[in-house]
Structure 1
Amino acid sequence: MALSRSIDRLISGRITPEMAADPHAAILPTPIAGDSFFDAPDQDLSPGALVRHRDATGWFPRPRTRLRQFMVGSTDALGRPVPVTATLMEPRRPWRGSGPRPVIVHNVAIDSLGTRSTPSCRIVHGVGQDFPTVVPLWLQRGYAVLIPDHQGPRMAYAEGTMAGHAVLNSIRGLVALDSSYATSPTALYGYSGGAIATAWAAQLHPSYAPELVLRGAVAGGSPVDVGLLRGTMNGTLGAGLFGAAIIGMAREHPTLVEQFSPTGIVLASMIKDLSVVPLALSGLARLRLERLSVDPGVFESAAARAVIEANTPGADAPVVPVAFYHGAAVPRFADRWIPEQGVLNLVDAWRGRGADVEYRPVFGDHFVGALSGLPFAMRWIDARFRDG
């Protein structure tokens, strides 16, 4: 509480007239500068429409891998047209398997608020972010790896519909870019923040992009229930990332910004371009987000409950096989940040709607489980590509 009062005093009076007039604009990220590839287009943004593309290189040479990047039309959480970008990584050696080269849609755990943390920017202008480090293993198998920038142009961290649309339109954009992938077996993978994009893409696939033929989706450490995360992250060492997720969702749902106090708006504007590491470290403050709202009971407000409901999957079900794994095999060493119960609830909801869902508890907390569950995830994907 004393720390909260100190923050209030520190930023008191720093809200500008511009922030007060348009608090939603105040929390949006700064666009990427110095690379015109990421500039907002003024052309057709219908879902799947290819806007631009390029061959790319990065700071580190990748002599065995070709990089191609593209921008494609998509829709945000409220159905408005937006551009999304993606990177395709292809082994230069020919595919030796039967049929066309498989595609793994690898949804990176971006978990950031700043645009320069989006994977396509990091791959070209920095060090790629990938935990656990799986991309080299996919490439070693000869798979093409499609990495969507699933948080979209507003870096809407944790917003499921935005992410699901971005993933599905990235697959459409890949086919528009290179028709040789039109019949490629394709599967989705993601861990933690990437699991949000994977689960939502799987759920939205039948209604939003039914023409896409997918083999399946596997997700680990899945934060699929925001309500449960409130109990494990709000006011704890996880508060930095939990707060960032609330900002990410508010970027797609402006009504949520109306619940921010002046202190909350200023603080959100101060951290709006941060990447995952400083956001995680800010959890040392152990802030309770109610302290940054105009309403002490904000999580029970109509605005918050609507956003939480909109970001809790389960209302519809995938039509492709899905697998989840989660740090829960040994309760004493289970995932303390992302409760297993959220995944179990989703598994039950999807199975109740007839979906083919497998669940595998694995050893370790959120970070150890990322590694201990990796062999299961890779075997599961390999089987989808092998057996069809």
Structure 2
Amino acid sequence: MGAAILGISTAVFAPVTGPATAGPLYPVPDPDPFYASPADIAEKSPGEVLAARVMPPLAIFPATTVTLVKFRSTNSQGLPIAATSTVLTPPGRSPGGPLLSYQHIINGLGPRCAVSRVLYTADPTLQVREAVALNAVLARGWSVALPDHLGPTFAYGAARLGGQITLDGIRAVRAAGLGLHESRIAMAGYSGGGMATAWAAALAPRYAPELEIAGAAAGGVPANLVRMLQALDTNPHPAFGLVMAAGIGLEREYPDRFPISDSMNARGLVTRGAVANGCTNEILTAGAGRSVAEYAQSMSLVDDPEARAVVEENSLELFDGVPNMPVFEWHSASDPLIPVDSIVRTNRRYCDAGVPLHAERTLSPEHMSAAVLGIPSVLIWLEGRFRGDPAPSNC
């Protein structure tokens, strides 16, 4: 990419020259020991099942069995981590019936934001956010895996990590004794969940080449974090809290390469502490209408290649990998949150590489409504992949 794309305000992701004063602020540990990493995790293989637990039934998914699976995955430093995925098994599922790995939107920095936790929250608005679509899937007899794809430190913004956890989650769910070892597999997700889905598709040939995945449906994908930060610059934004959360998450995943806390002023550090375990509402409220300029010690444009490289490494448009499966991609006609042209360029690169890709642009001028508008087409496309039909392409 050109220098114009890479020349972003390093107040966002480059440390101020001087001694470190803050360091990463990690989330509180989950109080449930089930989520803890075992002492021998380094001896396990990626995707290996570490534990499984049958969970209480959920009224929002009638007669559906719920199983929480813990497995070994890998973080961005190549180190072993424990991750989790919640499996929904519909009543009367046929042996070998389809398995959909669905990556939820997780805008959060703490354990209570995990899908496995949100499903059992007392807040019904969180609980039913995507229940309608999931019930439509379960009614088709498909099992659904819902990975906690931000990992144990809730590294929001670490997109590549989400792809790895998604793939290891599929490995684990198939091996967990749930009758899914011969199931045809597909993946789907929107926005942050779409980012984890799209990264899983792009990483699959290298990270999990043994998995035969019938297709990946990814919508509203933040395909280029570099350009998103460039568009934000130092201007106030109603969703600035999500940008700050992504900086906190990336620092957790890359503490030596992305020390953003050292660039924060006193106000920034206070806000960081306030959202360090927050979920969507707290994060959006804390950052609504704020800007980089309010929280940074310096607006210096000093070029920090390591910090910039972290953002590039988590930008799908800049990744040279290509999916080895059909792809369905959908996005809004114009999106105030993500650069649509980065999605289009990524689609074009996939088409040039021979990927069967069907892209759909909804009429929505807004980010989240496009998710709903795309659901009917996504379900039809997924049904075709599970049947083994030839994948459509409008390249």
TM-score, normalised to structure 2's length? Answer: 0.84
Are the structure 2 counterparts of residues 267 and 94 from structure 1 closer, same or farther at C-alpha, using a change threshold of 3 Å?
closer
Is contact 1:107–1:150 with CA below 8 Å preserved after alignment? yes
Are the structure 2 counterparts of residues 215 and 249 from structure 1 closer, same or farther at C-alpha, using a change threshold of 3 Å?
same
Tell whether 2:276 aligns with 1:272.
Answer: yes
Query: Which amino acid in structure 1 is aligned with residue 153 of structure 2?
Result: R
Residue among 36, 40, 44 paired with 2:37: 40
Shift of 1:298: 5.7
> Cα deviation per residue 1:309-360 (whole Å; 9 max; x = unaligned)?
10111311011011110011xxxxx322122112112112223333222211
Tell whether 2:97 aligns with 1:93.
Answer: no
Counterpart position of 1:114: 110
Counterpart position of 1:352: 352
User: Which consecutive residues of structure 2, in runs of 5 or more, have no partner in the other structure?
Assistant: 1-19, 390-395
| Inter-partner Cα distance in structure 2 for 1:236 and 1:299 | 23
Tell whether 2:27 aligns with 1:29.
Answer: yes
Moved more, 338-347 or 123-132: 123-132
Query: Which amino acid in structure 2 is aligned with residue 38 of structure 1?
Result: Y
Counterpart position of 1:226: 225
Counterpart position of 2:13: none
Are the structure 2 counterparts of residues 310 and 298 from structure 1 closer, same or farther at C-alpha, using a change threshold of 3 Å?
farther
Moved more, 187-196 or 312-321: 312-321
Is contact 1:110–1:129 with CA below 8 Å preserved after alignment? no
Other structure's SS at 1:124 match: coil
Query: Which amino acid in structure 2 is aligned with residue 261 of structure 1?
Result: M
Counterpart position of 2:292: 289
Shift of 1:119: 0.4
Any residues of structure 2 matched to 1:145-164 within 5 Å, and which? 145-164=144-163
Is contact 2:106–2:113 with CA below 8 Å preserved after alignment? yes
Q: Percent identity?
A: 29
Are the structure 2 counterparts of residues 112 and 68 from structure 1 closer, same or farther at C-alpha, using a change threshold of 3 Å?
same
Any residues of structure 2 matched to 1:1-388 within 5 Å, and which? 23-24=23-24, 27-33=25-31, 35-44=32-41, 45-57=44-56, 60=59, 62-95=61-94, 100-126=96-122, 128=127, 130-131=129-130, 133-178=132-177, 180-233=179-232, 235-254=236-255, 255-258=257-260, 259-263=262-266, 264-284=268-288, 286-297=289-300, 300-313=303-316, 314-328=319-333, 334-364=334-364, 365-388=366-389
> Cα deviation per residue 1:92-139 (whole Å; 9 max; x = unaligned)?
2233xxx72101100000111111110012223445364484211111
Shift of 1:229: 1.8
Number of aligned residue pairs: 358
Over the aligned positions, Cα root-mean-square deviation in angstroms equals 2.3
| Inter-partner Cα distance in structure 2 for 1:129 and 1:226 | 29
Query: Which amino acid in structure 2 is aligned with residue 278 of structure 1?
Result: E
Shift of 1:260: 2.6
Shift of 1:58: 5.3
Is contact 1:290–1:297 with CA below 8 Å preserved after alignment? no
Counterpart position of 2:16: none
| Inter-partner Cα distance in structure 2 for 1:345 and 1:28 | 35
Moved more, 107-116 or 231-240: 231-240
Is contact 1:155–1:248 with CA below 8 Å preserved after alignment? yes
Moved more, 170-179 or 68-77: 170-179
Is contact 1:59–1:125 with CA below 8 Å preserved after alignment? no
Are the structure 2 counterparts of residues 59 and 131 from structure 1 closer, same or farther at C-alpha, using a change threshold of 3 Å?
closer
Is contact 1:290–1:298 with CA below 8 Å preserved after alignment? no
Q: Which has the higher helix share?
A: 1
Other structure's SS at 1:200 match: helix
| Inter-partner Cα distance in structure 2 for 1:139 and 1:380 | 16
Other structure's SS at 1:217 match: strand
Query: Which amino acid in structure 1 is aligned with residue 110 of structure 2?
Result: G
